[in-house]
Amino acid sequence: MNEEKINIRVLTPFGPGIAKTKIPTPIITKLNEYFDKINSNTSKTSELNHGNKLVGNVSKELKIEHQFAKECGWTDFLSKITEIYIKALTEKNIKKFSIIETWIVSQFEHEYNPTHWHSGHISGAGYLKIPNTMGSNFQKKNMYNYNGHLQLIHGTRQFLSHSLFNIKPELGDFYLFPNYLMHTVFPFRETKEERRCISFNALIDEEIYNVY
């Protein structure tokens, strides 16, 4: 008796969809140059300080000025990938895309971002600088190393249903997700190098976002 080949396609119909893309290298360069310039200017750093409005226990969180975001191509990039993201998941074309704020997070050894969520409709996080090492686990047993990783959280762990999505930072990687999706960034150690990421919150068409 010949056995027929069985094909199985794994479906993920539940839970929020997440998109992954790459930030173009020229934009990464411009954003890093911008941050370094601002970071060396005490008065400008104070003006653009975003840390007092965010939950992160990190060295610096600086807002990106809207004009610069447009000039360096960052605004256009976010608009395009959001349009593709929403179209893929809803089969609808957005007519509105408005950035509420976008900011750069400068994180060093032992710093972290506790579990939180964002405002707006669409959010995202990506990487402009990554340390050569995030450090080792204290325990030497075979276990996942979460150091410096982004963790997305949704629902609770159940049979055939994961509630955590762990992301190892890679230079240029950028993830899009709905604003309400809880997430956290773990601390790292054994390095003096910087982990630099970029985030944003934006509004789209209310009639697309408001499914009720």
Q: What is the pLDDT of residues 74-133, one digit of tens each?
A: 999 999 999 999 999 999 999 999 999 999 999 999 999 999 999 999 999 999 999 999
Sign for the CA dihedral angle at 143, 146, 150, 152 comes to positive
What are the sequence ranges of the domains in the chain?
Answer: 19-206
Q: What does the block give as tokens for 29? A: 């360069």
Q: What does the block give as tokens for 7? A: 């094909």
Could you count the other beta carbons within 10 Å of the beta carbon of residue 63?
17
Superfamily of domain 19-206: q2cbj1_9rhob like domain (2.60.120.620)
How high is the pLDDT of residue 4? 61
Distance in angstroms (rounded) separating the CA atoms of residues 114 and 56: 6
Q: Give the tens place of pLDDT for each residue, 18-55.
A: 999 999 999 999 999 999 999 999 999 999 998 888 88
